[in-house]
Structure 1
Amino acid sequence: MVVEDEKSLADVVATYLEREGFEVTVCGDGTEAVALARHVDPDVIVLDLGLPGLDGVEVCRQVRTHSDAYIVMLTARTDEVDTLIGLSVGSDDYMTKPFSPRELMARIQAMMRRPRTSTATGAASETGADEPLREFGDLVIDVQGREVTVAGTPVALTRTEFDILASLSRDPGVVCSRPQLIASVWGPNWVGDDHLVDVHIGHLRRKLGDEATRGRYVRTVRGVGYRMGTGQ
């Protein structure tokens, strides 16, 4: 699904997607996009930030209440605040205009190659073995069922947030750098700013009721990366 009010750009993106075998739906209005996303149930949404009706941030926020589609935000605004806001409401990636349609396709294909369970847990899935629940105090991660609870209460995570948590919890005592998390979650061929990991980590912590200073579930190892906390 391509949500872009600049028709010429929308047509270019749609053409590239169709060449890659995607069925494409295009719209140029934010309000229409929210309704259309419910009807179409897309796998991927290419979403412009500046839209009539509702802007891309609000569209992303509303779509995330019912869809776990991969969302790539397009923005003509280069300041970091808008980018971080877009990611904080659940977009998986972003590109700043002008951009290369080929690079956009490469990023989308990389996301689509991501398995429904984290790449970090592939070995257990391939062997068919039942993986035990991963528990960190009140936090319980069911990797195979892709479910997370805190003190028995389900926590709704996006695919990207879940995959990051699954990657970190695979070897809870090991520190994962940003590049390692990028390779595990986004794929080894992903190209972009690896600081988007920090944004997703922040959003993940908020949903888990965690704090960076405390790090019950996700701890920052300064200058290196992140690792799981003990839940205490």
Structure 2
Amino acid sequence: MKLFVGLGNPGAKYAHNRHNIGFMALDRIAEDHQFTPWRSKFQGQICDGTLAGHKVLLLKPTTFMNLSGQSVGEAVRFHKVALDQVTVFHDELDLAPGKLRLKQGGGHAGHNGLRSIHAHLGADYGRVRLGIGHPGHKDAVAGFVLRDFAKADQNWLAALLTGLSNGAVHLAAGDGAKFMNAVALQTAPPRSSKTTKTAAQKPVQTAAAPDKGAPAPSPLQRLLEKFK
């Protein structure tokens, strides 16, 4: 079994916060891949389905961010999931908006949700780091992550969530490169190889010279004409 965990805070008040992008990712995967309805268990909301032939459990802890490890720990122990089969989707201040990094193990970099998971399970789980940008000063971080995404964020956010859903089958199959590529196809699609002619490239049409007709006869020619 694979366990995908999305981090966020429960309740309508926080639903569209930057801090809740992990919840948003799992909601989109569950909807697009026809997972079971969400239900309450493990101090969270869970649903399950199949991706690339693998059974996948989705978990959104409802303990609030700082206590996420309680919920994740319960699910891991109950289902006896190995930590290398656990992947946590979370917001990342140190990545530009819409950027993504896949990481296995490592530190929590001060993220309170990851800090809690570390305390309950250790550090050997996988992470999908979802860039939300940085407000510019550490004192502004708390207010920044607990505010809703701005209107200007909606395009890149929609593209990112679509890419995450499309790539979920590759993530479940353990192919990180294909997962990243599926996301990139949505967030940074390749530019068309077709080139359009610019005005400078178009052939220049020159105007035809005006028809001036036959030259006027000289005085001598007019005189000779009289004697014909």
**TM-score (normalised: structure 1):** 0.34
**TM-score (normalised: structure 2):** 0.35
Q: Which has the higher contact order (CA 8 A, sep 6+)?
A: 2
